Chains A and B, each alone.
Chain A
Amino acid sequence: MSAALAADSSQSDFVIQTKNLSKSYRHGWFGREKFHALRDVDLNVRRGEVFGLLGPNGAGKTTLIKLLLGIVHPSSGQAQVLGENAGSQHARRRIGYLPENLVFPRHHTGEGALQFYGRLSGLSENAIRKQMKPLLEVVGLLGREREPVRKYSKGMRQRLGLAQAMLHDPEILILDEPTDGLDPLGRSQIRKLIERLKQSGKSVFLNSHILQEVELVCDRVAIMAHGKIRAVGNIESLIDQHTHARSVDVWLEVAGDENTCRQLFVGTDVQTLESLGKLGASIESLDALHIADEAALQRTRFRVQLKIDELSQSDAWVDRIRSAGLSLISLQPQRLRLEDIFVRLVASLEADSQVATRSK
């Protein structure tokens, strides 16, 4: 590992740092075909943050985790974990890892599994005994630890996996799909656990498909696709970045004469114009609303989607509506979510790769 990377790591206090990290596999007869699982990944995870890694299936997320743990060897590039070479025994001693689809050997009980993995992590029997009970309580397995793991549900196995990852009090936790197989309550518990870990100063590297979850717990995220990091940053800045970069959708609801409406909302800005029917049709009891103006009830409601480049353009549209004698019922700019950004990024890449494949 280069000295530069090490110096960087100590200065900025990154717990995970990769530079031009690449991994390719050979397959086919005599390994003639090459598959690039990771390409030039540069990633920095700060101490004490919860970092989420997002990406579609086959994006290279698990490969990246395996590289960080030394389970696979990089083809090129560098990776450091806690200032140590990724995969070194020193580094692994300070990592707690929860793999995806965790399987415990069938002969273990919950307690036996924790003892076994505790010993593998170099813990003394005393330390294991001391840590075990509070951990089992935290993950909600206290009282079930003597049962054989083969009788555990998937959720229980996942909790036990989390317990073993935390047993040796690691500085960083790498959690691969931690809420997989858990019920909503379990997910909520795991989220709380991650928050507690964060509060206690631990760094968490989270790999998850569930974007809402990532949105809820992660300080920063990276989006991977086709072995490359496509975006990285905190969620707000990612949204801002993508909001500014493109036009904004604004939803309007107006009421008025149908012809006037149709004449007004013409042009490139208008995405959709949808009639919602007569205003009175949606009101079941006129008495209840004390509306006396019969004429008003004959007006038609419309929902309009406008695509505007800047929010200031919406003022001009309000003026136009009012001057045309239409009533503005509501105006709501559409806010981007992480999922939209994810879908946009991945979809555009898929399209690019399809075009590239066709052009070949």
Chain B
Amino acid sequence: MKPYLAVIYDSFVDAARSRVLWVLLACWTIVLAAIAPFSIIQGTTMDFQPDQILDRGQLVEALTAASKGRGSPDQRAVWDALEPSFQQTIVDRQKNRRGGRFPMGQLVNGLTTALDHTELYSADIWPTAGKRSELRELLEQPGNKLSTTELHTRNRYLIELAFPGLIRSGQGNAIWIGYAGIKVSDSLPFPQKQIRPFFEGIVLMVILKIGLGIIGIFIGIIVTSSMIPELFQVGSLHLLLSKPISRTWLLVAKFIGGTAFVTLNVTYLLVGFFLLVGFRLGFWNTGILWCIPIFVFVFMIYYSVSTLAGLVWRNAIISIVITILFWAFCTTIGITHGVMQGIVTVLPEVVRLERVGETMFAVTNRGELKIWDQGSAKWQTAFGETFGEESIIGPFWIDSEKSLYYGRPARIPFGGMQSEGIRLQMASLPELVDKNAASPDALPLWSDKRIDSGPEFPPRTRRAIAWKDTVVALTERGLYRLDIEVAKATDAKKLFSILDLPLLGGKPSDAYIKMTPENWQPESPMDFCYIEDEECFVVYSRGTLVRLNKIDDNEFEIGATLNLDLPDGSLALVAYNGTTCIIATNKSGVFRVDCKTWDRAIKLESVQEFVPRSITHSTIDGSFALLGRDGELWQIGNDGMSAEQLKLPISGKCSAIKIDDAGYWWLAHEVNRVVCWDAQKNQVIQTLVPNWSLVERIYYWGVYPLYWANPKPAGVDTAIQRLLTQDDPLSLGRETTELQIVRGPREDLWQPIWSNAIFILVMLGCSCVYLYRQDL
């Protein structure tokens, strides 16, 4: 061992004597010294803070009213004091009827601009302001005589008085970015407690990923690239090889020597960084220290390539060039794979299946509605293209109308991609159930000329189901029933989706009838189903099951409620088969509720905890099929007692399930393949396998094998993120409020570590074999 330690030590001495080590350590010291004066300055401010805005929506509405000259005089005075650009934002927003929430940062910054206004106060407008002792003195002097702090304090109180109940009063704690004790930024638009996630999730990630992950690693490669070629200097190599040491271990020792050199540098930098962040910002994030081995590992990936190149060509420059080419290749393949994976395997993945007669419909991750075309063995995109990714509601087959109803986000062409709500669309497909009813123009089933555009779904629609020849939508304001006649009458124009302008849509209130009391507002996450026997809806609303009992078809009242005692934010899916109601949650397992007694929810102990994706039941035997996120499929007996995980006759994971009227299970798998399965006999009845497109062929035959065989240094980034934020970055994007939406394949966080480790070993093995066999 001693000789090899001597080689490792010698590598260090080499670096130290050539001053490279010292130059680098000096550089790191300068970097650390440069960032050391940064700090977070806490203080009090009269500026508006996000946590002081009590009701954002109403505040924006009040400002909008003031902009039109409505509202109280003090509100109008505040409006006049606002900066014109902020006023314009409010006005534009109102003009464009943009939904969604007003950005908080923009709102508080906009309001803060009014604090500098010296002419805001007028005794006529704020007659009662002088009654407040803290204001009295400030109101006696004209605004331009007040100091900035006094002016801000006065205006702040006045604004609070103008919008009572909407803004929390008093000074706010604020934070600034400081450098050497001097504030170098405006107060940050988020509270102190959020700075850590911001810092760790964004600032630290950028510094570590780009600063160290790319620049640092390449400095390391450049510095160490000469080590192996130097080994082959004529006159020094033969002497080295004449010593009683093995060539393999000599190379490994050289490799370790280079790695140890980089480890020293990275350790110095990151420990310094850790201490700085700890002392200056108070965040003692040990994840930074864990990044040391991760970076050394990433360096080893590139260094193993540099070593082999150095061995073969015995030239430091060539070795660096080959390593950079390798990096570029990995990056290109990684990006190409990432993009193509999205296009080929993620977006076209079938997430819902619907079967009408003999026709199979599918909804993809991208939000496209597809119809299976047996003739060309292809999924045809139905009723126009989608723009970007979107969520689709439905589809529902409304038998009385012989039409397929679905909801699709309305888009403004040329006006950005912001969603304006969900538009109901009705596709007339009579030939699906009536063989004689052919399309007048012999239009294909998927022709976009078949659709009528209906009214928008009510705002904040979370779920919808088909119910008694119409559609019922569950929103954050209650249940709404679609009045089909009104919907058809309101807007019967044929539309192409690209011309789907908002003004063509009918008002939601006209076509949707609210079925629940005004005071009942379910909360997200939510889901619901209808229990026919009992003639009631069961709604899951943030941990509680609510029964809505029928008064008449247009009116339901709040019945019994059942608290499921779930952790906060639990998502759940509900389903009913005629006797039993099943509630599948993402955090606490699966429950059964007896709809007759409605007394308690009983947990199904036989079902392992997993995150459900969809639940359905068979109309033949009443059994439930519960599909999990990772493709696991459980069958729960019709009494809700027994449960077993099924072994499916498919390759890959199951992404959607539909049990048709004949009791056959249609299972979507491997992106867009579908299998029809007789679960009773365990027999495959039919398979729908679409032909590969050119892009799919390029991906499956070219990009994927290359990506698979190639090391993935960038894959280690997710591990870094995990270490820094203590979160599973892969789950972040997946934890939506929608259980049914699953985007992106779930990959093992540590898998890149293993695959890259194997790559390093293979490269080192090749280097050792090369060196061993070579006559030098």
The residue that A120 contacts in the complex, of B235, B238, B245, with Cβ under 8 A, is B245
The answer for the CA separation of A161 and B242 in the assembled complex, in Å, is: 13
The answer for the CA separation of A66 and B230 in the assembled complex, in Å, is: 20
Q: Which residues of A contact B246 (CB under 8 A)?
A: 89
Binary interface encoding of chain B residues 220-264 relative to chain A, with 1 for a CB under 8 A from any of its CBs, else 0: 000000000010011110111111111000000000000000000
| Contact yes or no, A73 B243, CB < 8 A | no
Chain A to chain B contacts (Cβ below 8 Å), 5 pairs? A89-B246, A103-B235, A107-B14, A107-B16, A119-B2
| Contact yes or no, B243 A92, CB < 8 A | yes
Seed contacts A102-B239, A107-B14; 9 additional CB < 8 Å A-B pairs: A69-B242, A89-B244, A92-B242, A97-B242, A119-B2, A120-B6, A120-B245, A121-B243, A122-B2
| Contact yes or no, B776 A72, CB < 8 A | yes
Q: A103-B234, A112-B13 are in contact. Are A70 and B3 (CB under 8 A)?
A: no
User: Does A90 make an interface contact (CB < 8 A)?
Assistant: yes
| Contact yes or no, A69 B233, CB < 8 A | no
Q: Which of A100, A101, A120, A161 has its CB near the most chain B CB atoms (within 10 A)?
A: A120
Q: Which of A20-63 contact B (CB under 8 A)?
A: 25
Q: Which of B155-173 contact A (CB under 8 A)?
A: none
The answer for the CA separation of A108 and B18 in the assembled complex, in Å, is: 11
Q: Which residues of A contact B18 (CB under 8 A)?
A: 106-107
Binary interface encoding of chain A residues 84-112 relative to chain B, with 1 for a CB under 8 A from any of its CBs, else 0: 00000110110101011111111110001
User: Does A117 make an interface contact (CB < 8 A)?
Assistant: yes
Q: How far is the CB of B374 from chain A (nearest CB, A)?
A: 55
The answer for the CA separation of A57 and B494 in the assembled complex, in Å, is: 94
The answer for the CA separation of A66 and B16 in the assembled complex, in Å, is: 32
The answer for the CA separation of A116 and B12 in the assembled complex, in Å, is: 12
The answer for the CA separation of A97 and B2 in the assembled complex, in Å, is: 20
User: Does B17 make an interface contact (CB < 8 A)?
Assistant: yes
User: Does B55 make an interface contact (CB < 8 A)?
Assistant: no
The answer for the CA separation of A240 and B763 in the assembled complex, in Å, is: 59
| Contact yes or no, A105 B243, CB < 8 A | no
User: Does A349 make an interface contact (CB < 8 A)?
Assistant: no
The residue that B10 contacts in the complex, of A25, A73, A106, A116, with Cβ under 8 A, is A116
Q: Which residues of B contact A107 (CB under 8 A)?
A: 13-14, 16-18
| Contact yes or no, B6 A103, CB < 8 A | no
| Contact yes or no, A71 B242, CB < 8 A | yes
Q: Which of A65-88 contact B (CB under 8 A)?
A: 66, 69-73
Binary interface encoding of chain A residues 245-271 relative to chain B, with 1 for a CB under 8 A from any of its CBs, else 0: 000000000000000000000000000
| Contact yes or no, A121 B244, CB < 8 A | yes
Q: Which of A89, A103, A161 has its CB near the most chain B CB atoms (within 10 A)?
A: A103
| Contact yes or no, A69 B6, CB < 8 A | no
| Contact yes or no, B234 A93, CB < 8 A | no
The answer for the CA separation of A19 and B230 in the assembled complex, in Å, is: 35
Q: A25-B775, A92-B243 are in contact. Are A101 and B235 (CB under 8 A)?
A: yes
CB closest residue in chain A, given B246: A89
Q: A72-B776, A103-B233 are in contact. Are A122 and B242 (CB under 8 A)?
A: no
The answer for the CA separation of A102 and B776 in the assembled complex, in Å, is: 15
The residue that A71 contacts in the complex, of B230, B234, B236, B241, with Cβ under 8 A, is B241
How many A residues, CB 8 Å from partner? Answer: 32
| Contact yes or no, B239 A99, CB < 8 A | yes
3 nearest A-B pairs in the assembled complex, by CB-CB distance: A103-B235, A119-B6, A107-B17
| Contact yes or no, B238 A69, CB < 8 A | yes
Q: How far is the CB of B259 from chain A (nearest CB, A)?
A: 19
Q: A89-B246, A120-B6 are in contact. Are A73 and B235 (CB under 8 A)?
A: no
| Contact yes or no, B239 A117, CB < 8 A | yes
Q: Which residues of B contact A120 (CB under 8 A)?
A: 3, 6-7, 240, 243-245
CB closest residue in chain A, given B236: A103
CB closest residue in chain A, given B237: A71
Q: Which residues of A contact B234 (CB under 8 A)?
A: 101, 103
The residue that A90 contacts in the complex, of B235, B244, B245, with Cβ under 8 A, is B244
Q: Which residues of A contact B239 (CB under 8 A)?
A: 97, 99, 102, 117, 161, 164
The residue that B244 contacts in the complex, of A71, A93, A112, with Cβ under 8 A, is A93
The answer for the CA separation of A117 and B2 in the assembled complex, in Å, is: 11
The answer for the CA separation of A107 and B17 in the assembled complex, in Å, is: 6
Q: Which residues of B contact A103 (CB under 8 A)?
A: 233-236
The answer for the CA separation of A97 and B10 in the assembled complex, in Å, is: 20
| Contact yes or no, B242 A116, CB < 8 A | no
B interface vs A, CB < 8 Å? 2-3, 5-7, 10, 13-14, 16-18, 230, 233-236, 238-246, 775-776
The residue that B3 contacts in the complex, of A95, A102, A122, A161, with Cβ under 8 A, is A122
Q: Which residues of B contact A93 (CB under 8 A)?
A: 244
Q: A71-B776, A103-B234, A119-B6 are in contact. Are A95 and B14 (CB under 8 A)?
A: no
| Contact yes or no, B14 A122, CB < 8 A | no
CB closest residue in chain B, given A75: B775
Q: How far is the CB of A107 from chain B (nearest CB, A)?
A: 4
CB closest residue in chain B, given A97: B242
The answer for the CA separation of A99 and B776 in the assembled complex, in Å, is: 13
The residue that B242 contacts in the complex, of A99, A101, A105, A106, with Cβ under 8 A, is A99
Q: Which residues of A contact B244 (CB under 8 A)?
A: 89-90, 92-93, 120-122
CB closest residue in chain B, given A157: B235
| Contact yes or no, B10 A70, CB < 8 A | no
| Contact yes or no, B233 A95, CB < 8 A | no
CB closest residue in chain B, given A104: B236
The answer for the CA separation of A120 and B246 in the assembled complex, in Å, is: 11
Q: How far is the CB of A25 from chain B (nearest CB, A)?
A: 7
The answer for the CA separation of A202 and B77 in the assembled complex, in Å, is: 107
The answer for the CA separation of A122 and B245 in the assembled complex, in Å, is: 9
Q: A73-B775, A119-B2, A120-B6 are in contact. Are A95 and B235 (CB under 8 A)?
A: no
The answer for the CA separation of A101 and B239 in the assembled complex, in Å, is: 11
The answer for the CA separation of A66 and B241 in the assembled complex, in Å, is: 10
Q: Which residues of A contact B240 (CB under 8 A)?
A: 120
Q: Which of A221-243 contact B (CB under 8 A)?
A: none
Q: Which residues of A contact B5 (CB under 8 A)?
A: 119
The answer for the CA separation of A101 and B238 in the assembled complex, in Å, is: 10
The residue that A99 contacts in the complex, of B2, B16, B238, with Cβ under 8 A, is B238
| Contact yes or no, B238 A71, CB < 8 A | yes
Q: How far is the CB of B16 from chain A (nearest CB, A)?
A: 8
Q: Which residues of A contact B10 (CB under 8 A)?
A: 105, 116
Q: How far is the CB of A265 from chain B (nearest CB, A)?
A: 56
Q: How far is the CB of A122 from chain B (nearest CB, A)?
A: 6
| Contact yes or no, B236 A116, CB < 8 A | no
The answer for the CA separation of A122 and B13 in the assembled complex, in Å, is: 19
| Contact yes or no, B235 A99, CB < 8 A | yes
| Contact yes or no, A116 B17, CB < 8 A | no
Q: Which residues of A contact B236 (CB under 8 A)?
A: 102-105
Q: Which residues of A contact B238 (CB under 8 A)?
A: 66, 69, 71, 97, 99
| Contact yes or no, A116 B6, CB < 8 A | yes
| Contact yes or no, B241 A70, CB < 8 A | yes
The answer for the CA separation of A102 and B238 in the assembled complex, in Å, is: 9
The answer for the CA separation of A327 and B230 in the assembled complex, in Å, is: 71
Q: Which residues of B contact A90 (CB under 8 A)?
A: 244
CB closest residue in chain A, given B14: A107
| Contact yes or no, B245 A89, CB < 8 A | yes
Q: Which residues of A contact B235 (CB under 8 A)?
A: 99-103
Q: Which of A25, A89, A116 has its CB near the most chain B CB atoms (within 10 A)?
A: A116
The answer for the CA separation of A25 and B2 in the assembled complex, in Å, is: 35
Q: Which residues of B contact A161 (CB under 8 A)?
A: 239
Q: Which residues of B contact A119 (CB under 8 A)?
A: 2-3, 5-6
CB closest residue in chain B, given A73: B775
Q: Which residues of A contact B14 (CB under 8 A)?
A: 105, 107
CB closest residue in chain A, given B245: A120
Q: Which residues of B contact A104 (CB under 8 A)?
A: 236
Q: How far is the CB of B477 from chain A (nearest CB, A)?
A: 77
Q: How far is the CB of B86 from chain A (nearest CB, A)?
A: 64
The answer for the CA separation of A103 and B230 in the assembled complex, in Å, is: 11
CB closest residue in chain B, given A100: B235
The answer for the CA separation of A121 and B10 in the assembled complex, in Å, is: 14
The answer for the CA separation of A92 and B246 in the assembled complex, in Å, is: 11
Q: Which residues of B contact A106 (CB under 8 A)?
A: 17-18
Q: Which residues of B contact A69 (CB under 8 A)?
A: 238, 241-242
